[in-house]
Amino acid sequence: MDSSFCSVSGERIEKERLIEEIRDFMEKSPDSLYKIIIGSDSQPLSDNNADFVTAIVVHRIGNGGRYFWRRLNGQKFYNLRDRIINEVMLSINTSLEILDLLKEKIEIKFDFEVHVDIGEHGKTSSLISEVTGMIRAYNFNFKTKPESYAASSVADKHV
């Protein structure tokens, strides 16, 4: 998996710089409350391939935030379930990839969540218990639609 992310402007940054950018953002207002959220979304393509985007959102509660994203192109998927499971695994793997670095490099406290692009209504409703169970197995807090903005709004914007 590509270790680089993109800023909002599209500039590619490596993981170490990503952590520095998050730290710098949080240090500008150290008394604020923060939530770091990871969510993924995908877009099916006509040839059974899909593009995936994972977003890392740093939310300064009540006062805006920043986000970063990365794209993974061209994996084949023949059904919705497999594509959603891949979205969730991308979010979990990204969480595992950066969470220890965040805790090591950032002294300001933050809450952490994984957002999934599924909800109680629609085609993905039957996957809720399976997907949330996967996330719980890693001991991460999570949100589903309509509260899962990191996946259903931020990552969706770049798919």
Per-residue pLDDT of the chain (159 residues; tens, 9 = 90+): 567 999 998 899 999 999 999 999 999 999 999 999 999 999 998 888 899 999 999 999 999 999 999 998 867 888 999 999 999 999 999 999 999 999 999 999 999 999 999 999 999 999 999 999 999 999 999 999 999 999 999 999 999
* Phi (first) and psi of residue 79, to 5 degrees: -150, 160
Domain 5-158 has CATH 3.30.2420: no
Q: Are 151 and 159 in contact (CB under 8 A)?
A: no
Which H, E and C letters describe 114-142, residue by residue?
EECCCCCCCCCHHHHHHHHHHHHHCCCEE
Length of the chain: 159
Q: Which two tokens stand for residue 148?
A: 């899962």
Question: How confident is the model at residue 1, as a pLDDT?
Answer: 53
Confidence at residue 110, expressed as pLDDT on a 0 to 100 scale: 97
The confidence score (pLDDT) of residue 2 equals: 67
Which residue, chain included where needed, has tokens 């109680």? 120
pTM score of the predicted model: 0.94
